[in-house]
Structure 1
């Protein structure tokens, strides 16, 4: 494996795993006993996340994304 490939794999795995963990933490905000929010708040958050993932797909030239609990290349 080339040095550039190894660097990409290392960074991509770490950054994607951090992003997935951050998204899981956002999911914790759904606890209505601890937080007050409305449907508009949720729609804004989901739209922002979808827009960000769409932007990443465009940057990589991809139109589909696979779902995984733990990201590995």
Structure 2
């Protein structure tokens, strides 16, 4: 049982830290001096992120979740 726990901690820390880093990089896209985007683009990005967070949370509650979809703005 301890091996499963230590593996969970190891993977969770690495994956959550990687996700936090990537979310910060997404935040960098808000720089209108470097990028052109519409408010609708921003809404789509955060809707997709929230959907995936909700699906991940549901899986911890025993729900198998939906199928994987790749994000696109188009």
Query: Per the shorter chain, which TM-score range?
Result: 0.7 to 0.9
Could you tell me which runs of 5 or more consecutive residues in structure 2 were left unpaired when the two chains were aligned: 63-74
User: What is the CA deviation profile of residues 6-63 of structure 1, one whole-angstrom value per residue up to 9, with x for unaligned ones?
Assistant: 000000000010001000000000000000001100000000000000000100018x
Within 2, Cα distance between the matches of 1:47 and 1:61? 21
In the superposition, the TM-score normalised over structure 2's length comes to: 0.80
**Once superposed, which parts of structure 1, at least 4 consecutive aligned residues long, lie more than 2 Å away?**
none
Partner SS for 1:54: helix
Whether 1:57 aligns to 2:57 is yes
More contact order relative to length (CA 8 Å, sep ≥ 6)? 1
Q: Which residue of 2 aligns with 1:11?
A: 11
Could you tell me which runs of 5 or more consecutive residues in structure 1 were left unpaired when the two chains were aligned: 63-73
In the superposition, the TM-score normalised over structure 1's length comes to: 0.82
Partner SS for 1:21: helix
Number of matched pairs: 62
